[in-house]
Amino acid sequence: MAKSKHDKVANRIAKKENVKYNKGQGADIQSSRRAIEVETAKTVDDASRQLRGYRKPVYIAGTDDKAVKAALKKYKDTSIGVMRPSGKIVKRSRRGRK
């Protein structure tokens, strides 16, 4: 069975963070430095629920440009950061910063 776009992006970023992709509850990618939730344009509204409770920097990684734009618009004035599918940060998280 072919991997979904979500799984491909999650695996790519997890590899970059030197951790494994978590398909269960909570953030898709959890490293010692940050928590990352991978979302499509249709599911971006649900991301904040998945990232609730994390004290370290949290990010939403869009699966494509449309998802990144939707995340930037939705989370503009929040502590949640946004990443491109490559893992490049386009909006820094303000959570967990001193």
Q: Does any domain span residue 40?
A: yes
Q: pLDDT digits over 7-25, tens only?
A: 999 999 999 999 999 888 8
For position 75, what pLDDT does the model report?
95
The reported pLDDT for the residue numbered 23 is 86
Strands (DSSP E) along the chain, which ranges?
Answer: 29-30, 35-39, 58-62, 81-83, 89-91
Distance CA 15, CA 21 (A): 8
Number of independent structural domains in the chain: 1
With bands split at pLDDT 50, 70 and 90, how would you rate the model's confidence at 3?
Answer: confident
Q: What is the pLDDT of residues 45-83, one digit of tens each?
A: 988 998 998 999 999 999 999 999 999 999 999 999 999
To the nearest 10°, report the CA torsion of 44, 58, 50, 15.
Answer: 90
How do residues 74-92 score in pLDDT, each as one tens digit?
Answer: 999 999 999 999 999 999 9
| Domain hosting residue 84, numbered range | 5-91
- Is 48 contained in some domain? yes
Decide if 67 is inside a domain: yes
**CA triple 65-87-3, angle to 5 deg:** 75
- Give pLDDT, residue 98: 56
Amino acid at 42: K
Structure tokens belonging to residue 98: 């001193």
Kindly state whether residue 14 falls inside one of the protein's structural domains.
yes
Considering the domain boundaries, does residue 98 fall inside one?
Answer: no
* Residue whose tokens read 């790519």: 12
